[in-house]
Amino acid sequence: MPAPLFFLPGWGLGRGPLLALAEALGGEIIDLPGYGAAPLIADFYAAADAIAERLPAGATLAGWSLGAQLALTIAARHPAKLGKLLLVAGTASFVQRDGWPDAMPPATLSEFATDIASDAETLLPRFVGGFNRGDLRARAVTRELLQLAEPHPAATTLATGLGWLRDVDLRPLAPRVQAPSLLIHGTADPLMPLAAGKTLAALIPGAQFLAFAECAHAPFISRTADFIAAVRRFRHD
């Protein structure tokens, strides 16, 4: 019997995109702070610690995008909590920094944050379409994600998440991960570039890296059956 499985969603879309995946794998979704009934926690590391408190010892924790950054942080700061770690479209730093070129320019994120604050209803669909560019099934995946997405959270929650993406650099934490880890990445991901995923995998001791060809930022939607099969193998290894 595999360990309990928990999913952390990405920024802006809520738990909806992960519901079918969690059901297929017998997992549970934990809302990010500020989403659903979860209270907003302003500090990224305090948010990760609060999520860790909800996990049983030895759990398998899966995170997508921003959720992957939180999952990585939990694995590094609370090693007893995690039996295995699954990062989907993960990165150590969402924005470019010294020694980390494969990421979004900080000015681009700043401009996006300003636009989201003024018109989230328009910008969120464009954001989803943008992070699917290059996917073999881009239009279908974008349409499905928008149908599955929950109503966006409060503006403060969206801004807090963007602030985390701007500020957090997890390179120092990645080598502290002790749990067996699998990173799944789309080769065409324009938001979290493939090179960033590979570099992050190299920082995590013993991590496996699996690239899904012609997929962008949501490989679990682009190639659902293949994704589920990969996760099942990882859980039962």
- Closest C-alpha among 162, 53, 168 to residue 108: 162
How confident is the prediction along the chain (237 residues), in pLDDT tens digits per residue?
Answer: 789 999 999 999 999 999 999 999 999 999 999 999 999 999 999 999 999 999 999 999 999 999 999 999 999 999 999 999 999 999 999 999 999 999 999 999 999 999 999 999 999 999 999 999 999 999 999 999 999 999 999 999 999 999 999 999 999 999 999 999 999 999 999 999 999 999 999 999 999 999 999 999 999 999 999 999 999 999 998
Q: Domain residues for 186? A: 5-236
**Residue 12, CA distances (Å) to 25, 31, 154 in order:** 23, 11, 10
**Residue 121, CA distances (Å) to 127, 152, 154 in order:** 11, 8, 12
pLDDT at 2: 85
Radius of gyration of the chain (CA): 16
pLDDT at 237: 84
pLDDT at 130: 94
Residue 35's CATH number: 3.40.50.1820
Q: How many domains does the chain have?
A: 1
Question: Amino acid identity, residue 188?
Answer: A
Contact 120, 158 (CB under 8 A): yes
What distance lies between CA 13 and its chain's CA centroid? 11
DSSP one-letter string for 32-89: PTTSTTPPP-SSHHHHHHHHHHTSPTTEEEEEETHHHHHHHHHHHH-GGGEEEEEEES
pLDDT at 224: 97
Q: Enumerate the active-site residues.
A: 65, 189, 217
